[in-house]
Structure 1
Amino acid sequence: MGEILIGTCSWTDKALVSSGWYPPSRRDAEGRLRHYAEQFPVVEVDATYYAVPSMRNSLLWAERTPPGFRFDVKAFSLLTGHPTRTAALPPDLRGVGRDSGDPGLLDEVWDRFSGALRPLRQAGRLGTVLFQFPPWFTPGTRAEILLHGARKRAAQWPMAVEFRHPDWWRDDHRARTTALLKDLDVAAVAVDTAQDLPTSIPPVTPVASRELAVVRFHGRSTTWGTGSKEDRFRHTYAGGELEEWLPRLTSLAAEVEQLHVLFNNCCADAAVRAAESMTRLLASHGDRRAATG
């Protein structure tokens, strides 16, 4: 049975910071991370999707967390084909005439992103790099070529892939998707979302890597995929909604060395409360491998 690490998809989200979850004495940058790492053993770094991270931040994150803590780092938007604002690029890469299709720009961003993660990797804190592909990234030859290209560039990283188009995990394509990810040696990301929408991702739990599997709980808002961030992820998980995942999680953990369970319903303290509840449920379910901070 693999180790189950439970956490959230951010520790710096403004709604969480203002919710009162952090003690008054620990609301500066260092205090928040140290407090979070005392409660949970894993966190997703969401900010790296919006801006290229810095080596300095990676060094600080490693220094402020204990051995065994893991950061799952979300790939910068440009690396997964999402629209990327010029203002999101490092200042010296915002030259006139440069856009997201510039091969030289893409090469430089890959190099900087990789370099920034090095301190986390050297400190044993890097869990995986999460490549979340956009809803228009559909199954097919072109997508598979792009995935192979991304894996080649990220050969030195542990890598996980989340698809936002449901066809990747529908019954008629699931086996091919799993085989593709196994061939790439990347972890598959399972998701929990509302299931009554055209864009709903099936709640399947494929295993593509024996080292790691990831499950991300996005909440069950019926506006998932549209509207504001608060609309998309506003959801408070009920006990029964979490309990239905217990057999899936224990089954996954039986096939991998480590399972990361991350809550992305990031409105106020809903994500940390859901993570706490899932930790208790797994413990009462008899799985003593569910780790806390």
Structure 2
Amino acid sequence: MRLHVGCAMWTHAPWQGRLLPHPLPPAERLRAYATWCNAVEGNTTFYATPARGTVESWAAQTDPGFRFVVKLPKTITHERRLTGAEEPLREFLDAIEPLGPRAHALWIQLPGSFGPGDLGTLAGFLHRLPPAHRYAVEVRHQAFFEDARAVRALEGVLGRAGAEWVPFDTVTLFRSPPTSDAERDAWVKKPRVPRRSAALTDRPIVRYLGRDDVSRTVEGWGHWVGVVTDWLREGRSPTVFVHTPDNAEALTLARSFHDAVRARVPELEPLPEPAPVEPLTLF
């Protein structure tokens, strides 16, 4: 039994020399991160399809059981809105092929303007995707959280395609006013939607956004500790990504979340031991 946990990135300046060895060449950074967590969000692919050689390096630095949840490029999801995107989709699928089983799910994050009236487009797009991959969809239109008919319609589209609905839980962030620059920035940019915690498949994916204050982040994820515990006991295989506005402690928080679940499910397989960080020297 395994719970996969991770962060929004595998390299982050506040981690360097404190949690991860520094300096490290690019070809070693993901390997070091993978001693802390067993999953990562592939957010960089949203901005550009990576070179195949780059993806080969990602695969070489991780075990086959490591999970990438890789975001489709914005060219496909935001600019073309899933229509007429055959060529960029082909290029993307070819680029990520070296990940093999590590490509746990291809993540279709849709813009806030993509609403119930666009579900036919989403259904057609999912139907045309190759069955070799799993797919996970994140929506941000308010109707999918407030209109029961829209919720049922989206669940139907995803269910027929065997796709998961990815919740982005920002409830803790918006529970009280921001107290840092990073939190103020997140208040402007992140979606303010109700929490959703229903799984559609045997491999649910959760994105949880806390606060820069570690204690408030831990306090806010209590709901998810219970939900993930239940999923594991039902035989599901969840993946949970922990974010904070500045992500300075996200790496340790992801492991703490795993520990909190393992305290309730002792048979859960432990995470690997983090790579030691050598002290900095002057010479």
TMscore range, shorter length:
0.7 to 0.9
Flag the 1:139–1:290 CA change in 2: closer, same or farther, 3 A.
farther
Q: d(CA) in 2 for partners of 1:119 and 1:153?
A: 22
2:210 aligned residue: 219
The one of 208, 213, 217 aligned to 1:238? 217
The one of 227, 235, 240 aligned to 1:261? 240
1:165 aligned residue: 141
2:41 is paired with a residue of what secondary structure?
strand
1:148 and 2:146 matched: no
1:239 is paired with a residue of what secondary structure?
helix
Q: How does 1:69-218 map to 2 (within 5 A)?
A: 69-81=66-78, 83=79, 106-121=85-100, 124-140=101-117, 143-155=118-130, 156-170=132-146, 172-173=148-149, 174-194=151-171, 199-210=191-202, 212-218=203-209
Q: CA deviation at 1:11?
A: 0.7
Q: CA deviation at 1:285?
A: 2.3
Q: d(CA) in 2 for partners of 1:238 and 1:19?
A: 24
Which amino acid letter does the alignment assign opposite residue 132 of structure 1? Q
Q: d(CA) in 2 for partners of 1:178 and 1:19?
A: 44
Q: 1:139-159 deviations in whole A, cap 9, x for unaligned?
A: 23xx21221232134223211
Asked if the contact 2:244–2:250 (Cα under 8 Å) also holds between the matched residues in 1, the reply is yes
Structure-1-length-normalised TM-score: 0.77
Q: d(CA) in 2 for partners of 1:153 and 1:20?
A: 45
2:182 aligned residue: none
Flag the 1:178–1:238 CA change in 2: closer, same or farther, 3 A.
same
Which amino acid letter does the alignment assign opposite residue 19 of structure 2? W
Alpha carbon RMSD of aligned pairs, Å?
Answer: 2.7
Which amino acid letter does the alignment assign opposite residue 145 of structure 2? W
1:227 aligned residue: none
Q: d(CA) in 2 for partners of 1:139 and 1:56?
A: 38
Structure-2-length-normalised TM-score: 0.79
1:130 is paired with a residue of what secondary structure?
strand
Q: d(CA) in 2 for partners of 1:280 and 1:260?
A: 14
Structure 2: where are the runs of 5+ without partners? 176-186, 273-283
Flag the 1:285–1:258 CA change in 2: closer, same or farther, 3 A.
same
Q: d(CA) in 1 for partners of 2:244 and 2:225?
A: 18
Flag the 1:19–1:166 CA change in 2: closer, same or farther, 3 A.
farther
Q: CA deviation at 1:31?
A: 2.2
Asked if the contact 2:7–2:40 (Cα under 8 Å) also holds between the matched residues in 1, the reply is yes
Q: CA deviation at 1:19?
A: 7.4
Q: d(CA) in 2 for partners of 1:61 and 1:3?
A: 21
Asked if the contact 1:6–1:291 (Cα under 8 Å) also holds between the matched residues in 2, the reply is no
Q: CA deviation at 1:269?
A: 2.2
1:21 aligned residue: 19
Q: 1:145-181 deviations in whole A, cap 9, x for unaligned?
A: 2212321342232110111123213362333322221
Q: CA deviation at 1:265?
A: 2.3
Percent identity over paired residues: 25
Q: d(CA) in 2 for partners of 1:59 and 1:118?
A: 9
Aligned length: 254
Which amino acid letter does the alignment assign opposite residue 9 of structure 1? A
Q: CA deviation at 1:290?
A: 5.8
2:45 aligned residue: 48
Q: d(CA) in 2 for partners of 1:129 and 1:159?
A: 5
Asked if the contact 1:16–1:267 (Cα under 8 Å) also holds between the matched residues in 2, the reply is no
2:252 is paired with a residue of what secondary structure?
helix
